[in-house]
Amino acid sequence: MHFPGSGREPHTKLKNNEIDTEMRKLAVVAFGGNALLRSGQKGTYREQIENVENTCESLCALLKRNYNIVIGHGNGPQVGNVMLQHEAGKLTGVEAMPMDFCVAETQGSIAYLIEMGLRNVMARNDIQRDVVTLVTQVAVNKLDPMFQNPTKPVGPYYTKEQAEEFARETGAKYKEDPKGNGWRKVVASPKPVRINNIKIVEKLAKAGNIVVTVGGGGIPVVEESDYVRGVEAVIDKDLASALCAVEIGADEFYILTDVPKVYINFRKENEQALDTITVAQAKQYLDEGQFAEGSMAPKVRAAIMFVEHGGKECIITEAGQLGNPDCGTRIVR
């Protein structure tokens, strides 16, 4: 991965007693899937905007403490819905778009909801900040071993016969769902190598703007000499947000999920909430299999990556806990 220096620019002269935005703490906040869609919901426009506003209301706790903020977000349910729409379009002769295009589409639509939610919430709380979205490409290595073994399920379920037919037609890979729901397309989940326009993200954020970026982990692209192309892949949104936090020199990295803390022995009689743990302890718990893949394990890995590459601490918590300065599980050096 690429980890440049801070690139910190000298402070500009203040005007009319304005707050020196470069002196504020800088935080990257990764919105979990439940920030937009709760369990049991259908994913309607109204449901999503209400959920986003609730999450943004919690974010005001950081804004009121004069944080500069960059927001990353997931897009799993939304990109699945987009793929369903594209599948339906095939019946009328409209070609389905590739995965990178679907990620770009959901980056824009989700960021629109976040921008609108933030503006509504800030108006109610008398907070004046500009909100800007960057539809963001994230470069991956074309030789990443994940391309040889795609495991990330995306899109709708099919029968075995349908999956075999689509595989023959497109060359895509399909695997059976372990819960017996059918067969789904699987794509690679490579590591992010570089975030395009990251210096612009840093400059905008340190000027006091709220920046929405690396949505859905970023649009996956491969760069070959002077040529860029999108690839069929999904980048983990927490890992992409962690890379963003490292590259802009963030002080703190928040991963928002649906539980207030990280637990070991989760949902067992000896369940234990974790308050503050070191990177070494986090690695030990990962090795013990304490955190489920596809759930808490990727979040803990993203936290480790941030702290190991210069971050002060990563906080994993529920959005509603942000008003508490001691919230969540904190991963430190």
Which amino acid, residue 244? C
Q: Are the C-beta atoms of residues 199 and 62 closer than 8 Å to each other?
A: no
- Enumerate residues 6+ apart whose C-beta is below 8 A from 276: 329, 330, 331, 332
DSSP-derived letter for residue 217 is G
Crossing angle for the helix pair 279-287 and 296-308, nearest 10 degrees? Answer: 150
The answer to whether residue 299 is catalytic is yes
For 128, counting Cβ atoms within 10 Å of its Cβ (0-12 exposed, 13-18 middle, 19+ buried), the class is exposed
The answer to whether residue 15 is catalytic is no
Catalytic residue among 32, 33, 76, 311: 33
Catalytic residue among 185, 206, 237, 261: 237
State the SS3 of 130-187: CEEECCCEEEECCCCHHHHCCCEEEEEEECHHHHHHHHHHHCCEEEECCCCCCEEEEE
The answer to whether residue 34 is catalytic is yes
Q: Are the C-beta atoms of residues 275 and 329 closer than 8 Å to each other?
A: yes
Instruction: Tell me the backbone φ, ψ of residue 260, rounded to 5 degrees.
Output: -70, -25
Q: Give one DSSP letter per residue of 116-129, joined into a string.
A: HHHHHHHHHTT---
The answer to whether residue 237 is catalytic is yes
Catalytic residue among 76, 81, 152, 215: 152
Considering Cα of 249, then 252, then 257, then 262, what sign does the dihedral take? positive
Q: Where are the alpha helices (DSSP H) in 207-252?
A: 237-247
Catalytic residue among 51, 217, 299, 328: 299
CA distances from 59 to 68, 151, 291, 321, 323 (A): 11, 33, 26, 10, 8
- Gyration radius from the chain CA atoms: 20
> What is the C-alpha separation between 47 and 57, in angstroms, rounded?
16
The answer to whether residue 13 is catalytic is no
Active-site residue list: 33-34, 152, 237, 299
